[in-house]
Structure 1
Amino acid sequence: MPALPVVRPPARPAPLRVGVLGCGGIAMRRMLPAMARTPLVEIAAVASRDRDRAKAAATRFDAVALHGPDGYRHLLDRDDVDAVYVPLPPALHAPWTARALESGKHALVEKPMTTDARQAHDLADLAKSRSLVLMESFMFLHHSQHRAVGRLVDTGRIGELRCLTAEFGFPPLPPEDIRYRPDLGGGALLDAGVYTVRAAGLLLGDALSVVGSTLVSDPATGVDIRGDALLRAPGPATAHLSFGFTHAYRSAYTLWGSTGRIVVGRAFTPPPDHSPVLRVERQDHVEEVTLPPDDQFANLAARFAAMVLGQEDPAPEREAAVRQAELVDAVREMAVRDSSVGDGGPVVPMAADGGA
């Protein structure tokens, strides 16, 4: 079982001054409130193309508001901003993250960090050359429930690990949602599928390869709306991943071993007050392990600040983001593709982060 990330708070109390490029749903509902309750972080400025959204966010978090067509650029020019958080649509991540790094700002970038591996390599090289932190915002990695899962596997509770299945999906989104826009990096693979790919890397190790995949596209928009992928690790374990926008809600993974299974029922989106329950199933025994609540968004913000403040090595985060982008590219390139006509079901409004 590969080692899982551990959050170690930095010794230095100086807050990290963060500027925010965009006021997307996940930023306003999850990440900015988490940053606001993290002592190591101060939200210094918020930029949006929309004047009212910028002012509302700045008022809420006691920050400077920047807006209009030059708002992002003005934020990057500010001396009181040490780092940026980039929650823009996926297709805008690479160009604005590059500008941030070129301006000397550390960068925390919403997943997916880029829409292809070439962009990920370029950003990682740029961050390394400037001695800046570059981190992809996969918040679920920073929840303690996954370390608990790792301990169960390492102590042999399910024998030898054979297979991981991971699923992240939810009902259709409103037609105007950006995830139906190919020009903005829409599609189920880049929105929901990346979680399952990252979970496979977390639980099976970095040396994964893609064996095969499928993607079903919406003929009206051209984006993929559901898919599956099969990955393998160098050892005996495989990963079967499923994701999409045409499903009943599910955010889970199962580890299946030679003598039992571990089921994690709220793998990617547990709120801070949720007490996770790990289900350990063996042939003659079923046990439910209840864990204390944990705040994965605040943990992520604290780890980003720790790296910027010199308490953590940023290299593993850069390397993980590049490897993640390479695997997502391989899922896309190997996919057997199909078009879906009328299988999307009724449009059900969902939260912008898939109900997190």
Structure 2
Amino acid sequence: MSTPAPLRIGVLGCADIAVRRMLPAMAALPETEVAAVASRDPEKAAAAAAPYGAAAVLGYEALLRRDDVDAVYVPLPAALHAEWTGAALRAGKHVLAEKPLTTDPESTAALLDLAEAAGLALMENVMFVHHRLHADVRALVADGVIGELRSMHASFGIPRLPESDIRHDPELGGGALGDVGVYPLRAAQHLLGDDLDVLGAHLVRGAGSRVETAGGALLATPAGVTAHIAFGMDHGYRSAYELWGSAGRLTVERAYTPPAGHRPVVRLETRTGVEERVLDADDQVRNTVAAFAAHVASARAGEPVAHDREAPLRQARLLDAVRRRAAPVRPVPEAARPRAEAAAGPARTPSGP
């Protein structure tokens, strides 16, 4: 039996996440190959494409017209996802798009419907859910290690970004909720289930900022398990969640963006003491690309897909519910800014995806 030809992927843009993490993963997997990289800047396209022997393409439209591209990866700013994901689907390409898939539930639903009608794969790139750590955590909770689950605390924060960063631009879909808040919110869905009610929410716009720079939310399941969510992009780095049960607590650090060689540590605190379980390393970037290739293979064969096509829509609705519940966004007074900056110290950019 012959080995299937690899999935030929074209990349729209030269975003950092594409160059640093996704392109190497696509090139390393036997199921995929980097076929082309497009940019509006020919030098950027050439530099990104060269290590993989891929075509450097001037302009996104030109890449979508290529017959040697089966699928497209979209790492553009969030506000451009709907336009270019839709264009790729209409051009007959399967699509892997960065999170969030779009900036509103209606656009997300329209893209999912478009992909389904065309028999094409459409997947949102939320990588941490493909790391085996979280399946292991769910198994521990199901086994009753911490008793009956009572609540979850989840947080993700990164140091302040340069003012020129696209995440500070509202016209490009910037803001803490969609960029960093999506991680702990999606973790709550992943670990507690999708039927979450938003009991309260709060979004804060830092002094001088045009977008929200921090926020929090209180969620609850129908059974009364609560999820306390905190996030921001003017913070000391934190990437963690804690599950608190009737008989103990389970804590995970470096929960959302671990490097491939990192061995996760699950800390268990129960009546019998404290235990740290060191798990095997896993590569969530590689796993995500492999999941996308499998999703495309299923779509090509007309088979049911293992991938949950509705997950992006449920996530979009949760983000929208948090934003609506928090409106209006509260500004931080100018007088508070110098104290906050002095306390934070020099900014560092995290190394994760």
TM interval, shorter chain, is over 0.9
- Verify the 8 A CA contact 2:127 2:285 in the aligned structure 1: yes
Structure 2 counterpart of 1:334, one-letter code: R
In proportion to residue count, which structure has more helix?
A: 2
1:91-150 Cα offsets, whole Å, 9 max, x none, are 001100000001111110001111111110111111111111111100000001111101
1:71-107 Cα offsets, whole Å, 9 max, x none, are 1001101111111000001100110000000111111
Higher mean displacement: 307-316 or 323-332: 307-316
Partner of 1:350: 349
Correspondence 1:239-254 to 2 at 5 A:
239-254=227-242
The answer for unaligned runs of 5 or more in structure 2 is: none
- Verify the 8 A CA contact 2:295 2:307 in the aligned structure 1: no
Say what the alpha-carbon RMSD is for the aligned residues: 1.7
Distance in 2 (CA, whole Å) between partners of 1:131 and 1:219 is 47
**SS of equivalent residue, structure 2 residue 310:** helix
- Verify the 8 A CA contact 1:44 1:80 in the aligned structure 2: yes
1:137-186 Cα offsets, whole Å, 9 max, x none, are 00000001111101111111001111111100011111111100000000
Equivalent residue for 2:279, pick from 291, 296, 314: 291
Correspondence 1:28-47 to 2 at 5 A:
28-47=19-38
Correspondence 1:1-356 to 2 at 5 A:
13-67=4-58, 71-310=59-298, 313-314=304-305, 316-335=307-326, 337-340=329-332, 341=334, 342-343=336-337, 345=341, 348-350=347-349, 355-356=352-353
1:314 to partner: Cα distance: 3.9
Change (3 A) 1:209 1:233: same
Distance in 2 (CA, whole Å) between partners of 1:326 and 1:244 is 20
**Number of residue-to-residue matches in the alignment:** 341
1:272-322 Cα offsets, whole Å, 9 max, x none, are 000111001113311111111100000000010001011874485320001
- Verify the 8 A CA contact 1:174 1:349 in the aligned structure 2: no
- Verify the 8 A CA contact 1:182 1:221 in the aligned structure 2: no
Distance in 1 (CA, whole Å) between partners of 2:30 and 2:144 is 38
- Verify the 8 A CA contact 2:216 2:228 in the aligned structure 1: yes
Change (3 A) 1:123 1:347: farther
Structure 1 counterpart of 2:178, one-letter code: L
- Verify the 8 A CA contact 1:174 1:348 in the aligned structure 2: no
- Verify the 8 A CA contact 1:161 1:257 in the aligned structure 2: yes
**SS of equivalent residue, structure 1 residue 20:** strand
Distance in 1 (CA, whole Å) between partners of 2:198 and 2:23 is 35
1:299-350 Cα offsets, whole Å, 9 max, x none, are 0000100010118744853200011000000000000531013536266252
**SS of equivalent residue, structure 1 residue 224:** coil
Distance in 2 (CA, whole Å) between partners of 1:252 and 1:23 is 29
Distance in 1 (CA, whole Å) between partners of 2:104 and 2:244 is 31
Distance in 2 (CA, whole Å) between partners of 1:49 and 1:283 is 59
1:36 to partner: Cα distance: 1.3
- Verify the 8 A CA contact 1:107 1:133 in the aligned structure 2: yes
Distance in 2 (CA, whole Å) between partners of 1:117 and 1:156 is 35
Q: What's the % identity of the aligned pairs?
A: 54
The answer for unaligned runs of 5 or more in structure 1 is: 1-10
1:220 to partner: Cα distance: 2.3
Partner of 1:8: none
Structure 1 counterpart of 2:180, one-letter code: A
**SS of equivalent residue, structure 1 residue 318:** coil
Distance in 2 (CA, whole Å) between partners of 1:158 and 1:124 is 38
